[in-house]
Every structure is written in C-alpha cells, then in structure tokens.
C-alpha cells in the first residue's frame, strides 16, 4: 500500500511490508503456509468431537449458516464468531465468512428498537440460537466491524446483510452514538448505552449502565481505530483517531512497569478494576490478548515507540518464568496463580504462547523474540475440551507472526 500521508506512520500500513518472524528465523514459506493451513483445517473442518470449533448449521434465505462454539461451555459467543470472520476474510475463505456472518445476524443481532441492546449482538447463545444473555460484549462488535470492512475491500459489497460496508458503518455508528435504552429487567430496570466512552474516548467492558464504567485492556484495538478514522463514518473519524492515541497511552498506564502484565479489567486511568469478579485485577485469560493488540498496532503503524518497550518487558518476564513452562494467570507483579479452577485451558496454554510470540513484532531484543517465535512454532494445534479460545488465539497468532494478518484497503 502506497504511503499517502504523514499521518499513516511508518509501519506496514504505509509500506505494505509485513514482518514474517517465522521466515526471519529460517522457516520456508511453504512450511509456514502448511502450518497455517493445517491449523485452519483442523479448527474449522476437523473431527467434530475432538478438533473442530466451527460447525455447519443448515441454511436460510440468506444462504449457508455456520457457528463457532466454545466447545467446553456449549455456547456460541460474539468473540468466537467475530474472530472466525476475521480469520476467514484474512485467509480468503469467503463461503465460511458469509456463513458465520449469516449466523450472527440471524440469531445474535438484536433488532427490536425497544430492547436495551438494540443494534448490538447478544454475546452468548446456545448452539440453536437461543440467547443465553441479552447483553453485548464490545470486543465482538469491534472484530465484526473490522472484518466486514476488510470483506468489503477484498470482495466488494452485495445486497442485504452482505453489503459489508453498510453493515460495518451501521455497527460503528451504534458503538459510538447508540442512545441509552431502558427496559424492565430480571433485577430491575436495565439500561444500555453506547460501547465507547466519550471522554476519554475508550471502549467499555460492557455498554450496560451500572455503577462506575470501566474498560478491558484487551478490548483496546488502536490498529483498528486508525483504519476506522479513515474508512468509518465521516462524522466519527476524528473520534477514532483520538481513541487510537488514547489506547496507546492507556497501554503504558495499565501495564505493570516491571512485568508488562495488564489486568483483565481496568479503570480509565489504567489502575486494575478489581471488584468485578475474583481475579479481575490480575493478568488472566482476557489479558493474554493485550500484548498482541499493542504489538500489531506497532507493526501496522509505528506510531508509539513505547509499545516496543512493553513488548520487551512482557517477553522478558515470561522468559524468566520458563519459555515452555509459564502458566495462564499471574498477579500484575508476577506471582504465578496457576490455572483458574473449572476452566479447560492447559497449564501452559497455546493461546498465551501465541500472543507472547506476536509481541515479537514490536520487541527490540531479536534473540529473545526468536525464542518465543520458535516456541509458538513447536506448539501443537489445540484440540480437546479447551480448543476454542486457545485455538482461535493460536491461529490468529500464527497469522500475525507470519505477516499473513494484513490490512485489506479499498481498491
């Protein structure tokens, strides 16, 4: 992609050149492609009992339907569907992309103007489409919007739900401007507003209005916000540009200055938000993604050199824990808390091995980054009960590390 403006930074968006850490470490392009293809094939089309997380679900007037399921919890989440859409648009799997989007719009989209979550998606459903919750989780909407814009740019728009650009714009507008809607709820009146806090411009953990609003560091996606400041609704482009700057500064505030670990949930000033759930102020399963988010932002834009320091810090910490031994949950100052009881992740999870390898896109210590790249290379494709979250992060991490997770711009 040609550089068109000083505002485009010096990363892959401006240069069109994406780093391939696997190739830098000596792996052939054929080997790398085979590894990505094998992971995609297993997770999307593998054995239904032990490997697959994606399942065909018949068809309707809009065509085939497919869902991505958290196998261990027997539900379908906006997180998984939106990740599935991002993976399939990046890999050029249009049939699967459309089928997943069709399932999301058919079963998860809330079209009742009186419903508090109107214009958003129910974050969790049963595999038959019945809602487990009427609430929305903004990480799903964020990935839906970005994947739709990439699909529009890569494949062009059609009609109805496959007018990808129109669907993305509608969703981005709702994320910023959706009016508050209140309706009776199980525990009293239930109010939902927009997904973005106006000032500071920052994504919320949930758009539900209760108590003091707070955020989830792993929901911050400045690499995407930069694109929305160019391709999104014109009236909000300055807002998204400011949101990108805000998130970059927030990453520095919310991570521990020694370990580079971020909490699962945080207040707008970056301090841990520790009263939502047990361990919510610790580095847990959500927080695995945070380093990947800032590292991809550096890779695409080269606008925040502090992200390089953060990547070095978190890789240094996990190297000190044993490159093949570290666990899934830590206090922010680095105490190993072990796996959370009742969850199905491995003691040394593939998803975290993936996101820690992605940190190598920004880290300056190439020798240490190579250790994490090779650790991901040697990690087997997740299977069994815990294959959903680990598998999605594992596959997207392979794509990031190999330079195959790219910006698809307008033709």
**Tens-digit pLDDT profile for residues 176-193:** 999 999 998 777 899 999
Closest C-alpha to 323, from 377, 277, 271: 377
Taking the CA atoms of 368, 28, 224 and 140 in sequence, report the sign of the dihedral they define.
Answer: negative
Domain covering 53-213 in this structure, CATH number: 1.50.10.10
Could you tell me the residue ranges of all domains in the chain? 1-45+216-411, 53-213
3-state secondary structure of 244: helix
Write the pLDDT tens digit of every residue in 35-50: 999 999 999 999 999 9
Write the pLDDT tens digit of every residue in 297-315: 999 999 999 999 999 999 9
Write the pLDDT tens digit of every residue in 55-74: 999 999 999 999 999 999 99
Separation of alpha carbons 163 and 152, rounded Å: 8
Which string of DSSP letters, residue by residue, matches 52-106? --EEEEEEETTEEEEEEEETTTTEEEHHHHHHHHHHHHHHT-HHHHHHHHHHIII
347 assigned to active site? no
Residue from 8, 79, 216, 307 carrying the catalytic annotation? 79
Write the pLDDT tens digit of every residue in 253-273: 999 999 999 999 999 999 999
CATH architecture entry for 1-45+216-411: Alpha/alpha barrel (1.50)
79 assigned to active site? yes
Contact (CB, 8 A) for 338 and 344: no
Separation of alpha carbons 234 and 254, rounded Å: 30
Cβ count near 187 (within 10 Å): 7
Instruction: Check if 1-45+216-411 and 53-213 are the same fold.
Output: yes
DSSP summary character for residue 282: S
Closest C-alpha to 39, from 410, 395, 404, 405: 395
Closest C-alpha to 80, from 52, 116, 59, 118: 52
Residue from 98, 139, 264, 286 carrying the catalytic annotation? 286
Tell me the pLDDT band of 347, cut-offs 50, 70 and 90. Answer: confident
């Amino acid at each position: 992609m040609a550089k068109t403006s000083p505002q485009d930074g010096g990363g892959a968006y401006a240069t069109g050149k994406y780093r391939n850490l696997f190739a830098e470490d000596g792996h052939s392009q054929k080997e790398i492609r085979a590894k990505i293809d094998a992971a995609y094939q297993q997770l999307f089309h593998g054995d239904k009992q032990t490997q697959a997380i994606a399942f065909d679900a018949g068809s309707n007037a809009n065509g085939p339907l497919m869902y991505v399921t958290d196998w261990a919890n027997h539900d379908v989440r906006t997180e998984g569907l939106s990740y599935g859409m991002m993976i399939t648009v990046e890999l050029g799997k249009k049939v699967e992309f459309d089928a997943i989007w069709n399932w999301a719009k058919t079963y998860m989209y809330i079209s009742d103007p009186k419903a508090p979550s109107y214009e958003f998606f129910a974050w969790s459903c049963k595999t038959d489409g019945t809602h487990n919750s009427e609430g929305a989780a903004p990480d799903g909407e964020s990935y839906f919007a970005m994947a739709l814009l990439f699909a529009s740019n890569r494949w062009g728009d059609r009609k109805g739900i496959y007018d990808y650009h129109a669907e993305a714009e509608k969703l981005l507008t709702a994320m910023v401007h959706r009016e508050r809607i209140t309706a009776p709820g199980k525990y009293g009146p239930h109010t939902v507003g927009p997904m973005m806090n106006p000032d500071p411009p920052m994504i919320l953990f949930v758009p539900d209005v209760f108590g003091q609003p707070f955020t989830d560091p792993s929901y911050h996606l400045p690499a995407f916000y930069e694109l929305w400041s160019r391709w999104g609704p014109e009236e909000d482009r300055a807002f998204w540009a400011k949101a990108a700057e805000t998130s970059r500064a927030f990453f520095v505030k919310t991570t521990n200055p020694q370990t580079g670990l971020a909490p699962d949930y945080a207040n707008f000033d970056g301090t841990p938000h520790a009263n939502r759930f047990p361990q919510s102020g610790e580095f847990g399963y959500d927080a695995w993604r945070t380093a990947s988010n800032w590292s991809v932002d550096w890779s695409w834009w080269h606008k925040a050199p502090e992200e390089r320091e953060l990547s070095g810090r978190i890789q240094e910490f996990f190297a000190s824990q044993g490159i093949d031994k570290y666990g899934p949950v830590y206090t922010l100052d680095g105490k190993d808390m072990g796996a959370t009881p009742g969850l199905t992740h491995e003691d040394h999870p593939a998803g975290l091995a993936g996101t820690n390898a992605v940190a190598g896109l920004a880290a300056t210590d190439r020798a240490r980054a190579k250790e994490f790249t090779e650790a991901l290379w040697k990690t087997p494709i997740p299977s069994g009960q815990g294959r959903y979250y680990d598998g999605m992060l594992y596959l997207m991490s392979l794509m990031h590390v190999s330079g195959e997770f790219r910006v698809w711009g307008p033709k």
